Structure 1
Amino acid sequence: MKKRSLIAAAAALAAGPCLAQSSLTLFGVVDAGVSHYRTTSTSYNPLRPAEQRQSQTVLSPSGNASSRLGFRGTEDLGGGLAVGFWLEAPLNNDTGGGIANFGRRSTVSLSGTFGEVRLGRDYTASFWNDAVFDPFIVNGVGTNLIAVVNSNIAASRALATGGLLNGGLSAGTDSYLRTSNAVSYFLPPNLGGFYGQVQYALHENTKVSNLPDSPSTRGRYVGGRMGWTNGPADVALAYGESTLSSTAALGEKIKSMNLGGSYDFGPVKVFGEWSRVRDVRNSATAFPGGSLRLSDRYDGLMAGLNVPLGAGMLRASYARVRFVNGLDLPDGNASVNKLALGYVHNLSKRTALYASVSRIHIANGRNNPTVMGVTPLVLSLPAIFPQPGYATTAGMQPRSALGYDFGLRVSF
């Protein structure tokens, strides 16, 4: 994406000799495409076979890249120090909705030979691998299945434990994709290909001296990422931990670890990712079997590739996420597989046409939803595609899904 620096003549006159030390950049993406989603469900009562299909066709604003508008700037402080800011807002160009917030990113930073310290709302350290090593860069119907499932787990469990965290949802997630109130440190770029970050998001809850569980750490995020890149190779390991509840009886955390990598052979670039997410929670009453602690697990694998074809790019990925219930119930596990294909044709450096299609197969979609009232979210219909949010009809088991996008993307 080419981003053009905007420094007005009036600003030049006002800034005088400081002009060469400062910059302001306006950037963005406008993406519009027609998207279609269809799911097929069957009755899980073998005595009453039935089939139900749900479908929706929409004009979506993010089939190839998320529509956005942003401002960023830097100022050279001298002595190797620089200060920067970044304000980035989502755009709803399908409806013409205006900028409501800078929920995509809102940070100020200080950088130098020591690295960078960044403050504000930003991507979580544990999200990066889900995006960087996805051929579809977590957009459209081809979005990495691991990312879609993780997004639903984070958002739905946050709602189940008392409402939204960290200033509300952004792009369907809560403390998975982004986190508010974050203090982040990034390594400097001159370490022989090694890179990384650590991140801590403040929970900002009030401490009350005579309450045993005070302060609540609900809303806290802790994570880190370490990687190495050299020429065509890139590999990174990340971990993140989000606190949904911190009371002794009802504590709950989502713990995420992933390992991703890519290698560019020239004629083809290959991607891969392994992911494990655990929803660890306590209960005031025992689960079946007498345990007060439950740890559901979501194991994911993804492999993909990008193939340059003249002015275009062919993209493909295959992903699988398997749910393993924390109670070791033989009928409580489930899995979902996703195959995605896409093509992007560049009309210029900033403009492209695109088309994508994906097919999903679900095993054991009912997934024993009565266990402690918790339905494993890997199989809820809103988790199938980034949008829309389908509602599951009572007594029906999701079996398969199909989706496609085709549209136009312009960046500036």
Structure 2
Amino acid sequence: MAVIAVSGTAFAQSSVTIYGRLDVGMNNQKTTATATAAGVSASAFYKANNLVNEDGLSTGLLGFKGTEDLGGGLKANFVHEMDLDMDVGALGVAAGRDSTLGLSGGFGEVRLGRSYTPLFSTIGASDVFGTTGAGTVNQFGMANTGVRVSNAFFYTSPNFSGITVKLMAAQNNAQTNASVGNAGKTSAQGFSVTYAAGPLMLAAATGTEKGSSVNRLVGLFAETATAATKAGTPAEAANAKYTGSAISAQYDMGVAKLFAGFTSTKDDNDSTVAGGELTMKETNFGVAVPMGALTLMAAVGNNKGSEAGDPVSAKGTDMAFGATYALSKRTTAYVKTGTYNKYKATDAGVTAEVKTNRTSIGLRHLF
């Protein structure tokens, strides 16, 4: 009886939850890139039209989370999530999403592992459609840590009169004799401050990544840049530096919820070489209008990209429209369509344009 009593007490102080998000429907997507010179146009496209596909409104996932009361206000917490692909009936990736273990108490919460960056969470908060499918937020900043970061330390402060601070730091130092001081080391840092009280939410964030080279200039300026691309080679990746910052706001008026945001990112594939840095700026606005179980949504965003050393800039306007219908507290039907990642620039008689169109119709279920 004593053993049973002790076991029951221990079980009452711990909890493990299995949860998930299922999203499946029809997704039609087409990305086109067109270049026009002397009245002659050439284009290329990628088209993905599936009768049934996933992630039209949200990404699918299967997760496990738990907490243990350690006494004195201290708790141990863990979470591990995996991709869940409904269109093919499989766990897509057993790793790659949130996976952390940590402690929480009066000091806030400390987590170790892999999770969302403060910058990504702040950017996503400005889009009425979130960060999946058609939307108006496209600039997630750094090459490898734009969404989540691995090998990382995360800290979330207690809520001080509506203000919450988040810190993130990561480092991956895998070197050989040939890579010492070279591409074998990457690091990232992030910081955000959020104020949420009543109908208002305001957030600001910044993030930095060093030591990872990805040439984002090619797709945007391949047809228009007059200056040579200054992208770093893998051997120079240690000199790469990516920075991003964002401001987001939400205001719930009851009859409508307003969204706004501004994001700025700078990609420098080799900080030891002058010029070639890619600067991207994005401003977006959105609105959600609830009408009982039905919610109507619309968003518009303005994009601008420029390369240091080249007077040409690329500009574009994103637009998205959609609606959700709550069939229950956990099941939602949705439709949304939009044009995003749209840029157009003209240089030396050549006009180049790239854009993505996507329409999604489907169901989302939470458990």
Give the TM bin, normalised by the shorter chain: 0.7 to 0.9
**Aligned match of 1:86:** 79
Establish whether residue 344 from structure 1 lines up as the match of residue 336 from structure 2: no
Establish whether residue 25 from structure 1 lines up as the match of residue 20 from structure 2: no
**Aligned-pair distance for 1:203?**
1.7
TM-score (normalizing by structure 2): 0.84
**Aligned match of 1:273:** 261
Change over 3 Å in CA distance of 1:250–1:326 after alignment to 2: farther
Q: Percent identity?
A: 30
Change over 3 Å in CA distance of 1:207–1:63 after alignment to 2: same
**Aligned match of 1:323:** 305
Establish whether residue 302 from structure 1 lines up as the match of residue 284 from structure 2: yes
The structure carrying a bigger strand percent of its residues is: 2
Establish whether residue 185 from structure 1 lines up as the match of residue 155 from structure 2: yes
**Aligned match of 1:195:** 164
**Aligned-pair distance for 1:212?**
10
Establish whether residue 257 from structure 1 lines up as the match of residue 251 from structure 2: no
**AA paired with 1:402?**
N
Q: Does the 8 Å contact 1:136/1:142 carry over to 2?
A: yes
Q: Does the 8 Å contact 1:146/1:319 carry over to 2?
A: no
**Aligned match of 1:411:** 366
Q: CA deviation digits over 1:284-309, x for unaligned, max 9?
A: 7xxxxxx6354321011111111101
Q: Does the 8 Å contact 1:39/1:398 carry over to 2?
A: no
Distance 1:263 1:398 in 2: 34
Change over 3 Å in CA distance of 1:50–1:248 after alignment to 2: closer
**AA paired with 1:235?**
L
Establish whether residue 62 from structure 1 lines up as the match of residue 29 from structure 2: no
Establish whether residue 102 from structure 1 lines up as the match of residue 129 from structure 2: no
Distance 1:213 1:295 in 2: 25
Q: Does the 8 Å contact 1:106/1:120 carry over to 2?
A: yes
Q: CA deviation digits over 1:360-398, x for unaligned, max 9?
A: 484435879xxxxxxxxxxxxxxxxxxxxxxxxxx9943
| Residue aligned with 2:90, SS | coil
| Residue aligned with 1:103, SS | coil
Q: CA deviation digits over 1:331-369, x for unaligned, max 9?
A: 3x202211000100000000010000103484435879x
| Residue aligned with 1:330, SS | coil
Gaps (5+ residues) in structure 1?
A: 1-11, 155-173, 285-290, 369-394
Q: Which moved more, 1:69-78 or 1:136-145?
A: 136-145
Distance 2:132 2:108 in 1: 30
Distance 2:179 2:328 in 1: 61
Q: CA deviation digits over 1:45-67, x for unaligned, max 9?
A: 22424566653312331111110
**Aligned-pair distance for 1:250?**
6.1
Distance 2:237 2:361 in 1: 49
**Aligned-pair distance for 1:254?**
0.7
Distance 1:249 1:28 in 2: 38
Change over 3 Å in CA distance of 1:401–1:206 after alignment to 2: closer
Change over 3 Å in CA distance of 1:401–1:296 after alignment to 2: closer
**AA paired with 1:334?**
A
**Aligned-pair distance for 1:95?**
1.2
TM-score (normalizing by structure 1): 0.76
**AA paired with 1:336?**
G
Gaps (5+ residues) in structure 2?
A: 214-234
Q: Does the 8 Å contact 1:145/1:338 carry over to 2?
A: no
The correspondence of residues 222-233 of structure 1 with structure 2, limited to 5 A, is: 222-233=189-200
Q: Does the 8 Å contact 2:301/2:319 carry over to 1?
A: yes
